[in-house]
Chains A and B, each alone.
Chain A
Amino acid sequence: ETGVTQSPTHLIKTRGQQVTLRCSSQSGHNTVSWYQQALGQGPQFIFQYYREEENGRGNFPPRFSGLQFPNYSSELNVNALELDDSALYLCASSLRLVPGELFFGEGSRLTVL
């Protein structure tokens, strides 16, 4: 158990819809990162939030957006869903400026039909 919780665990959407995924970070961690993992691939970095601001972004279009709240929990929003957005979305918390391990949640599996 890492102390990082994600919801929902599974969801199905249709192309063009919007989705919001949620993450509660481990107690005391001030940084949240989101990753997308397509089937059979490694996780790809989407973005990172620190002190409620985006602090680094991978190669993802603007329709992927996020929020971090004062309690360090976070949301990932994806607009105009495409079939290729089907993946496991992983949230990871860490301590900013302390290079070290990421603590991952179990993920939200999104299927886009």
Chain B
Amino acid sequence: SQQGEEDPQALSIQEGENATMNCSYKTSINNLQWYRQNSGRGLVHLILIRSNEREKHSGRLRVTLDTSKKSSSLLITASRAADTASYFCATDPNTGNQFYFGTGTSLTVIP
């Protein structure tokens, strides 16, 4: 079974708008990561946030982590058509790089 659940399942926005997707997970974690997947291809790492961090930025990406609520959010600012992809959160409960992925959010950015 999936460790995490992303919300919403699908999101459609206009180019230039911000996109926010959320992830909830079930057990305690050491770190949480977000990955991107273009249609049917391999996953690409976007950003990692450790359990003792609350917020992290990387370019147009902003990730927050609330371990008390077992939730994380990914914000993509000033979205571009090239951001169209599926986005997954992944949690590592055991520091063994054995990640459990959520169900994903499918983002469509309309030019």
Contact = CB atoms under 8 A, between A and B. Distances in A.
Interface in A68-113: 88, 90, 92, 94-107, 109
A105 B43 CA distance: 8
A48 interface: yes
Interface residues of A, number: 33
Classify chain B: how many residues form its interface, as a range: 20 to 34
Given A42-B103, A43-B88, A59-B1, A96 B43 contact: no
Contacts of A31: 97
Interface string B91-105: 010111111111110
Nearest to A96: B97
A98 B98 CA distance: 12
Nearest to B88: A42
B42 interface: yes
Given A103-B45, A104-B43, A48 B98 contact: yes
B42 A107 contact: yes
A104 B94 CA distance: 20
B101 A44 contact: yes
A90 B45 CA distance: 14
Interface string B39-67: 01111110010100000000000000000
A48 B41 contact: no
Interface of A: 2, 4, 31, 33, 35, 41-45, 48, 55-56, 58-59, 88, 90, 92, 94-107, 109
